[in-house]
Amino acid sequence: MARFDYLEPHSLDEALGMLADHGDNARLVAGSTDFLVRWRTGVWRPETVVCMQHVPGLGDITFNDDDGLTLGALVTVEDIERSDVVRNVYPALAAGATAFAGVQVRNLATVVGNICNASPAGDTLPALLAYDTQCRIVGPGGERWLTLDEVFVGPGQTALAQGEIMTELRLPTPAPNTGGLYIKHSPRGAMDISAVGVASVVSLAGDGTCASVRIALGAVAPTPMRANGAEGRLVGQQPDAANIAEAARIAAQASRPIADVRSGADYRREIARILTERTLGYSVSTASGDAPAFEDIRRLAVQTAW
Protein backbone atom coordinates (compact mmCIF):
# COMPACT_ATOMS: atom_id res chain seq x y z
CA MET A 1 0.00 0.00 0.00
CA ALA A 2 1.35 3.42 -0.99
CA ARG A 3 2.28 5.85 1.78
CA PHE A 4 0.84 9.37 2.02
CA ASP A 5 1.11 12.50 4.16
CA TYR A 6 -1.86 13.00 6.50
CA LEU A 7 -3.07 16.54 7.26
CA GLU A 8 -5.77 17.73 9.70
CA PRO A 9 -6.99 21.29 9.06
CA HIS A 10 -8.82 23.07 11.89
CA SER A 11 -10.72 25.55 9.74
CA LEU A 12 -12.32 25.63 6.31
CA ASP A 13 -9.81 28.21 5.10
CA GLU A 14 -6.95 25.99 6.24
CA ALA A 15 -8.45 23.01 4.39
CA LEU A 16 -8.80 25.08 1.20
CA GLY A 17 -5.18 26.18 1.54
CA MET A 18 -3.96 22.60 1.91
CA LEU A 19 -5.86 21.52 -1.20
CA ALA A 20 -4.45 24.48 -3.13
CA ASP A 21 -0.91 23.66 -2.01
CA HIS A 22 -1.04 19.97 -2.98
CA GLY A 23 -3.28 20.15 -6.06
CA ASP A 24 -4.12 16.91 -7.87
CA ASN A 25 -1.98 14.91 -5.44
CA ALA A 26 -4.36 15.56 -2.51
CA ARG A 27 -7.45 13.58 -1.51
CA LEU A 28 -10.11 15.09 0.78
CA VAL A 29 -11.74 12.68 3.26
CA ALA A 30 -14.28 12.80 6.09
CA GLY A 31 -15.46 9.36 7.28
CA SER A 32 -12.87 7.63 5.05
CA THR A 33 -15.05 4.55 4.45
CA ASP A 34 -14.68 4.77 0.64
CA PHE A 35 -11.11 6.01 0.78
CA LEU A 36 -9.75 3.12 2.82
CA VAL A 37 -11.15 0.51 0.44
CA ARG A 38 -9.81 2.21 -2.66
CA TRP A 39 -6.44 3.03 -1.11
CA ARG A 40 -5.86 -0.56 -0.02
CA THR A 41 -6.65 -1.83 -3.51
CA GLY A 42 -4.47 0.82 -5.16
CA VAL A 43 -7.34 2.55 -6.99
CA TRP A 44 -6.53 5.83 -5.20
CA ARG A 45 -2.87 6.68 -4.62
CA PRO A 46 -2.77 10.23 -3.21
CA GLU A 47 0.44 11.76 -1.93
CA THR A 48 -1.52 13.79 0.65
CA VAL A 49 -4.77 13.09 2.52
CA VAL A 50 -6.65 16.05 4.02
CA CYS A 51 -9.07 14.92 6.75
CA MET A 52 -11.97 17.27 7.56
CA GLN A 53 -12.92 15.71 10.90
CA HIS A 54 -11.49 18.57 13.00
CA VAL A 55 -13.06 21.45 11.07
CA PRO A 56 -15.67 22.98 13.43
CA GLY A 57 -19.25 23.75 12.47
CA LEU A 58 -19.70 21.05 9.83
CA GLY A 59 -21.42 18.42 11.96
CA ASP A 60 -24.70 20.22 12.63
CA ILE A 61 -28.27 19.29 11.66
CA THR A 62 -30.66 22.26 11.84
CA PHE A 63 -34.26 22.73 10.76
CA ASN A 64 -36.85 25.48 10.62
CA ASP A 65 -39.97 25.94 8.51
CA ASP A 66 -38.55 28.84 6.51
CA ASP A 67 -35.13 27.44 5.60
CA GLY A 68 -35.83 23.70 5.74
CA LEU A 69 -33.21 21.14 6.73
CA THR A 70 -29.50 21.98 6.76
CA LEU A 71 -26.88 19.23 6.95
CA GLY A 72 -23.21 19.99 7.50
CA ALA A 73 -20.53 18.12 5.58
CA LEU A 74 -19.60 15.98 8.62
CA VAL A 75 -23.14 14.79 9.39
CA THR A 76 -23.02 10.99 9.30
CA VAL A 77 -25.56 8.59 7.90
CA GLU A 78 -26.22 7.42 11.48
CA ASP A 79 -26.92 11.03 12.51
CA ILE A 80 -29.56 11.15 9.78
CA GLU A 81 -31.08 7.84 10.84
CA ARG A 82 -31.37 8.99 14.47
CA SER A 83 -32.68 12.50 13.76
CA ASP A 84 -36.30 12.97 14.83
CA VAL A 85 -36.83 15.79 12.34
CA VAL A 86 -35.55 13.66 9.47
CA ARG A 87 -37.75 10.74 10.51
CA ASN A 88 -40.84 12.93 10.81
CA VAL A 89 -40.41 15.45 7.98
CA TYR A 90 -38.12 13.65 5.49
CA PRO A 91 -39.04 9.95 5.89
CA ALA A 92 -37.61 8.90 2.52
CA LEU A 93 -34.20 10.16 3.64
CA ALA A 94 -34.55 8.32 6.95
CA ALA A 95 -35.29 5.16 4.98
CA GLY A 96 -32.23 5.70 2.79
CA ALA A 97 -30.10 6.05 5.92
CA THR A 98 -31.36 2.88 7.57
CA ALA A 99 -30.81 0.94 4.32
CA PHE A 100 -27.21 2.17 4.11
CA ALA A 101 -24.58 -0.57 4.75
CA GLY A 102 -24.15 -1.66 8.39
CA VAL A 103 -24.15 0.31 11.62
CA GLN A 104 -20.35 0.45 11.79
CA VAL A 105 -20.18 2.11 8.36
CA ARG A 106 -23.16 4.40 9.09
CA ASN A 107 -21.35 5.69 12.18
CA LEU A 108 -18.44 6.88 10.02
CA ALA A 109 -19.78 7.57 6.52
CA THR A 110 -21.00 11.12 5.87
CA VAL A 111 -23.96 12.07 3.71
CA VAL A 112 -21.85 14.58 1.77
CA GLY A 113 -19.21 11.88 1.29
CA ASN A 114 -21.89 9.64 -0.22
CA ILE A 115 -22.65 12.44 -2.69
CA CYS A 116 -19.00 13.08 -3.56
CA ASN A 117 -18.41 9.36 -4.09
CA ALA A 118 -21.10 9.66 -6.81
CA SER A 119 -21.98 5.99 -6.94
CA PRO A 120 -25.13 5.37 -9.00
CA ALA A 121 -26.19 2.99 -6.19
CA GLY A 122 -25.68 5.32 -3.18
CA ASP A 123 -28.57 4.73 -0.79
CA THR A 124 -29.04 8.31 0.41
CA LEU A 125 -28.89 9.82 -3.07
CA PRO A 126 -32.38 9.05 -4.50
CA ALA A 127 -34.04 10.54 -1.41
CA LEU A 128 -31.82 13.61 -1.51
CA LEU A 129 -32.78 14.06 -5.17
CA ALA A 130 -36.46 13.60 -4.38
CA TYR A 131 -36.28 16.31 -1.70
CA ASP A 132 -34.69 18.81 -4.14
CA THR A 133 -31.40 19.09 -2.26
CA GLN A 134 -29.17 22.11 -2.83
CA CYS A 135 -25.38 21.82 -2.30
CA ARG A 136 -23.10 24.59 -1.06
CA ILE A 137 -19.62 24.38 -2.59
CA VAL A 138 -16.70 26.52 -1.46
CA GLY A 139 -13.43 26.88 -3.34
CA PRO A 140 -10.64 29.25 -4.34
CA GLY A 141 -13.10 31.27 -6.42
CA GLY A 142 -15.62 31.69 -3.60
CA GLU A 143 -18.99 30.06 -2.95
CA ARG A 144 -21.52 28.55 -5.34
CA TRP A 145 -24.69 26.48 -5.05
CA LEU A 146 -25.65 23.54 -7.24
CA THR A 147 -28.76 21.39 -7.26
CA LEU A 148 -27.92 17.78 -6.51
CA ASP A 149 -28.71 16.61 -10.04
CA GLU A 150 -26.20 19.20 -11.33
CA VAL A 151 -23.51 17.68 -9.09
CA PHE A 152 -23.55 14.23 -10.74
CA VAL A 153 -21.83 14.12 -14.13
CA GLY A 154 -20.98 10.40 -14.42
CA PRO A 155 -20.24 7.25 -12.40
CA GLY A 156 -17.89 8.37 -9.64
CA GLN A 157 -17.68 11.86 -11.16
CA THR A 158 -19.01 15.17 -9.83
CA ALA A 159 -19.04 18.80 -10.95
CA LEU A 160 -16.68 19.83 -8.12
CA ALA A 161 -13.54 21.50 -9.46
CA GLN A 162 -10.04 20.95 -8.13
CA GLY A 163 -9.70 22.51 -4.67
CA GLU A 164 -13.46 22.82 -4.02
CA ILE A 165 -15.19 21.46 -0.91
CA MET A 166 -18.89 20.65 -0.49
CA THR A 167 -19.70 22.10 2.93
CA GLU A 168 -23.47 22.01 3.34
CA LEU A 169 -26.74 20.55 2.06
CA ARG A 170 -30.13 22.25 2.22
CA LEU A 171 -33.46 20.49 1.77
CA PRO A 172 -36.53 22.74 1.48
CA THR A 173 -39.43 22.21 3.87
CA PRO A 174 -41.96 19.82 2.28
CA ALA A 175 -45.43 21.17 1.61
CA PRO A 176 -48.29 20.12 3.91
CA ASN A 177 -49.78 16.72 3.14
CA THR A 178 -46.52 15.24 1.89
CA GLY A 179 -45.44 11.62 2.19
CA GLY A 180 -42.30 9.84 1.08
CA LEU A 181 -40.40 6.56 1.13
CA TYR A 182 -37.19 5.01 -0.18
CA ILE A 183 -36.91 1.28 -0.88
CA LYS A 184 -33.71 -0.56 -1.72
CA HIS A 185 -33.63 -3.96 -3.39
CA SER A 186 -30.52 -6.07 -2.97
CA PRO A 187 -29.97 -9.82 -2.96
CA ARG A 188 -28.55 -10.01 0.57
CA GLY A 189 -30.08 -7.09 2.47
CA ALA A 190 -28.74 -3.86 3.92
CA MET A 191 -25.07 -4.87 3.93
CA ASP A 192 -25.13 -5.35 0.16
CA ILE A 193 -24.90 -2.65 -2.53
CA SER A 194 -28.34 -1.95 -3.93
CA ALA A 195 -29.37 -3.54 -7.20
CA VAL A 196 -32.11 -0.88 -7.49
CA GLY A 197 -33.20 1.95 -5.19
CA VAL A 198 -36.25 4.20 -5.57
CA ALA A 199 -37.41 7.23 -3.59
CA SER A 200 -40.79 8.89 -4.07
CA VAL A 201 -42.10 12.08 -2.45
CA VAL A 202 -45.73 13.09 -3.07
CA SER A 203 -47.64 16.22 -1.96
CA LEU A 204 -51.43 16.20 -2.18
CA ALA A 205 -53.69 19.17 -2.92
CA GLY A 206 -56.88 19.85 -0.98
CA ASP A 207 -58.98 17.96 -3.54
CA GLY A 208 -56.79 14.86 -3.23
CA THR A 209 -54.96 15.28 -6.53
CA CYS A 210 -51.15 15.26 -6.72
CA ALA A 211 -49.82 18.79 -6.30
CA SER A 212 -46.19 17.68 -6.54
CA VAL A 213 -44.47 14.39 -7.32
CA ARG A 214 -40.75 13.66 -7.24
CA ILE A 215 -39.38 10.22 -8.13
CA ALA A 216 -35.68 9.37 -8.08
CA LEU A 217 -34.04 6.11 -9.11
CA GLY A 218 -30.67 4.67 -8.14
CA ALA A 219 -28.51 1.96 -9.76
CA VAL A 220 -30.43 2.06 -13.05
CA ALA A 221 -28.40 4.70 -14.92
CA PRO A 222 -24.85 6.12 -14.92
CA THR A 223 -25.94 8.56 -12.19
CA PRO A 224 -28.92 8.71 -9.80
CA MET A 225 -31.78 10.05 -11.92
CA ARG A 226 -35.15 11.76 -11.70
CA ALA A 227 -38.09 10.13 -13.46
CA ASN A 228 -39.50 13.37 -14.84
CA GLY A 229 -41.96 11.78 -17.24
CA ALA A 230 -43.47 9.64 -14.50
CA GLU A 231 -43.77 12.68 -12.23
CA GLY A 232 -45.60 14.63 -14.92
CA ARG A 233 -48.00 11.75 -15.44
CA LEU A 234 -49.27 12.11 -11.86
CA VAL A 235 -49.24 15.87 -11.22
CA GLY A 236 -52.82 17.16 -11.25
CA GLN A 237 -54.22 13.62 -11.29
CA GLN A 238 -55.89 11.49 -8.67
CA PRO A 239 -53.26 9.07 -7.33
CA ASP A 240 -55.38 5.98 -7.87
CA ALA A 241 -53.96 2.53 -8.57
CA ALA A 242 -54.18 2.87 -12.35
CA ASN A 243 -52.39 6.23 -12.47
CA ILE A 244 -49.70 5.06 -10.06
CA ALA A 245 -49.14 1.90 -12.09
CA GLU A 246 -48.80 3.93 -15.29
CA ALA A 247 -46.34 6.34 -13.65
CA ALA A 248 -44.29 3.38 -12.44
CA ARG A 249 -44.22 1.94 -15.96
CA ILE A 250 -43.00 5.27 -17.36
CA ALA A 251 -40.29 5.52 -14.69
CA ALA A 252 -38.99 2.04 -15.47
CA GLN A 253 -39.06 2.76 -19.19
CA ALA A 254 -36.90 5.86 -18.67
CA SER A 255 -34.23 3.93 -16.76
CA ARG A 256 -30.96 2.87 -18.42
CA PRO A 257 -29.73 -0.08 -16.37
CA ILE A 258 -26.69 -2.22 -17.06
CA ALA A 259 -26.15 -5.89 -16.35
CA ASP A 260 -23.51 -6.72 -13.74
CA VAL A 261 -22.81 -9.25 -10.98
CA ARG A 262 -25.74 -7.98 -8.89
CA SER A 263 -28.47 -7.97 -11.51
CA GLY A 264 -29.42 -8.20 -15.15
CA ALA A 265 -30.62 -5.11 -16.99
CA ASP A 266 -34.16 -6.35 -17.64
CA TYR A 267 -34.51 -7.46 -14.03
CA ARG A 268 -33.38 -4.04 -12.81
CA ARG A 269 -35.92 -2.33 -15.04
CA GLU A 270 -38.75 -4.51 -13.73
CA ILE A 271 -37.70 -3.99 -10.11
CA ALA A 272 -37.58 -0.23 -10.74
CA ARG A 273 -41.21 -0.42 -11.87
CA ILE A 274 -42.24 -2.41 -8.79
CA LEU A 275 -40.39 -0.18 -6.34
CA THR A 276 -41.74 2.98 -7.94
CA GLU A 277 -45.27 1.66 -7.61
CA ARG A 278 -44.70 0.69 -3.97
CA THR A 279 -43.03 3.93 -2.92
CA LEU A 280 -45.69 6.01 -4.65
CA GLY A 281 -48.48 4.06 -3.01
CA TYR A 282 -46.93 4.42 0.44
CA SER A 283 -46.22 8.13 -0.10
CA VAL A 284 -49.82 8.80 -1.09
CA SER A 285 -51.21 6.78 1.82
CA THR A 286 -49.19 8.79 4.36
CA ALA A 287 -49.44 12.20 2.69
CA SER A 288 -52.61 13.21 4.51
CA GLY A 289 -51.94 11.39 7.77
CA ASP A 290 -49.48 11.45 10.63
CA ALA A 291 -45.75 10.91 10.17
CA PRO A 292 -45.06 7.19 9.68
CA ALA A 293 -43.56 5.22 12.55
CA PHE A 294 -39.84 4.78 12.05
CA GLU A 295 -40.13 1.02 12.55
CA ASP A 296 -42.45 0.94 9.53
CA ILE A 297 -39.83 2.83 7.52
CA ARG A 298 -37.08 0.50 8.72
CA ARG A 299 -39.15 -2.58 7.82
CA LEU A 300 -39.90 -1.34 4.31
CA ALA A 301 -36.53 0.24 3.44
CA VAL A 302 -34.76 -2.97 2.36
CA GLN A 303 -36.55 -5.64 0.36
CA THR A 304 -34.78 -8.75 -0.90
CA ALA A 305 -37.52 -11.14 -2.04
CA TRP A 306 -40.41 -10.85 -4.48
The CATH number linked to 234 is 3.30.390.50
| Mean predicted confidence (pLDDT) in 150-158 | 96
Looking at the structure, do residues 69 and 29 belong to the same domain, yes or no?
A: no
Q: What CATH number has the domain bearing residue 67?
A: 3.30.465.10
User: Does the predicted model carry a pTM greater than 0.75?
Assistant: yes
| Mean predicted confidence (pLDDT) in 258-263 | 90
pLDDT of residue 133: 98
Ramachandran sector of residue 246 (left: φ over 0; alpha: ψ -120 to 50; beta: rest) = alpha
For the chain, how many structural domains are there in total? 3
> Which residues form the domain of 268?
178-303
Residue range 69-103, pLDDT digits in tens = 999 999 999 999 999 999 999 999 999 999 999 99
Residue range 102-139, pLDDT digits in tens = 999 999 999 999 999 999 999 999 999 999 999 999 99
Looking at the structure, do residues 205 and 265 belong to the same domain, yes or no?
A: yes
pLDDT of residue 290: 67
| Mean predicted confidence (pLDDT) in 256-276 | 95
Domain assignment of residue 56, yes or no: no
Sheet of 196-204: strand order equals 225-226, 210-218, 196-204, 178-185, 302-303
Local structure of 288: helix, strand or coil? coil
User: Is the pLDDT at 306 greater than 90, yes or no?
Assistant: no
pLDDT > 70 fraction of the chain, expressed in percent and rounded: 97
d(CA 173, CA 198): 21
